[in-house]
Amino acid sequence: MANTASLIICEHCDSVYHKVELAKHQKALCQRCGAVLQRYNGLNIQQRLALSVTAAVFWIFANFYPVMSISLKGLHNSATLWDSVLALSTGPITFIAGVAAISIIIAPLFQLVLLIWVLCFALASKRSPAFKTCMRWLETLRPWSMLEVCLLGAMVAVFKLAGLLDVLPGIGLIALAILSLLIIRIAGRDIRDLWDTLP
């Protein structure tokens, strides 16, 4: 098998290219279909790990502090992410509760755990145990992690309910926002660079 490590394939039209070293603010485009092949990766392993740890901390905030609290004439209620999953599970669409739990709690958690695991070893320029499985799972989990969807939903709820009830965004909502942005940044497609950097 020829050494293909230095080649890159366009996701959209399957053209094969040589990898190029990119400087700041640069990106590589496919000549045939114009899709983005590579972006400049501004994060080294250490930064990525640091942000992963930060994201893990915010995951904890997002799950243990109420996302929002509403009150109406003395009636008071506040909910964390987990409360919302439980609320769904008692309703007629229990199945959706499972999907919600996976997409807003479990998938991000797995992503973060796997990232931290892999990056810790990468920091020492080593492949972690079960490196291949971890990397594949990271790829698999990406579409399942829908924190930004949840965030948007929560924001819409806050704005829509604000007219009817007194709605207070909680610490959880802020943590959720930061977490979703961080996950987009650290668990993006560019983690596949690890395949190259780690022999």
Partner 1 sequence: MTPDTPEGTPSPGQPAVKARRFSVSLVWIVPIVAVLIGISLVVNNLMGQGPTIEVVFKTGQGLEANKTAVKYRNVVIGQVTTVDLSEDQKSVTATIKLVKQAENFTRTDSKFWVERARIGASGISGIDTLLSGDFIGADAGQAKERSKNFIGLETPPPITYGEPGKRFILHTDDLGSLGVGSPVYYRKIPVGQVVSYGLEADGNRVKLEVFVHAPNDAFVTENTRFWNVSGVDLNVGADGFNLRTESLSAMLVGGIAFRAPDYSPEDQPAEQDKNFELFDNRQTALAPPSGKAQYLQLRFDQSLRGLKVGAPVEFLGIEFGRVVSINLDFDVQQRIFPVIVGIVVYPQRLGQAHTKMLKVLNHDPDDEKSAVRMINTFVDNGLRAQARSGNLLTGQLYISLDFYPKAEKVAFDAEARPVRIPTIPGSLQQLQEQFQALVEKVNALPIDRIANNLDRNLVELHKGLQQVNTKTLPGVQGTLQELSKTLQSANSTLADDSPQREKISQTMDELNRMSRSLRELSDYLSRHPESLLLGRPKGASADSPSP
Residues that bind partner 1 (CB under 8 A): 44, 46-47, 50-51, 53-54, 57-58, 60-61, 65, 73-77, 171
Nearer to partner 1, 53 or 158 (CB): 53
User: Considering beta carbons, is residue 55 or 138 the nearer one to partner 1?
Assistant: 55
| Distance in angstroms (rounded) separating the CA atoms of residues 9 and 19 | 9
Q: How far is the CB of 43 from partner 1 (least distance, A)?
A: 8
Shortest CB 53 distance to partner 1, Å: 4
Please check whether residue 98 is in contact with residue 24, taking contact to mean a CB–CB distance below 8 angstroms: no
Task: Give residue 53's Cα distance to chain centre.
Answer: 13
Query: To 5 degrees, how large is the angle CA 62–CA 113–CA 129?
Result: 180
Nearer to partner 1, 6 or 44 (CB): 44
User: How far, in Å, CA of 72 to CA of 62, rounded?
Assistant: 24
Nearer to partner 1, 41 or 46 (CB): 46
Extract the tokens encoding 101.
Answer: 């739990």
CB of 75 to partner 1, least distance (A): 6
Is the CB of 18 or the CB of 24 nearer to partner 1?
Answer: 24
Token duo for residue 41: 């990766």
Residue placing its CB nearer to partner 1 in the complex, 83 or 139: 83
Give the shortest CB-86-to-partner 1 separation in angstroms: 13
- How is 29-77 classified by DSSP, letter by letter? E-TTT--EEEE-----HHHHHHHHHHHHHHHHHHHHS-SEEEEETTEEE
Shortest reach from residue 59's CB to partner 1, in Å: 10
Sequence-distant (≥ 6) Cβ neighbours of residue 86 within 8 angstroms? 97
Q: Quote the least distance from Cβ 186 to partner 1, whole Å.
A: 11
Contacts of 76 (CB under 8 A, 6+ apart): 69, 70
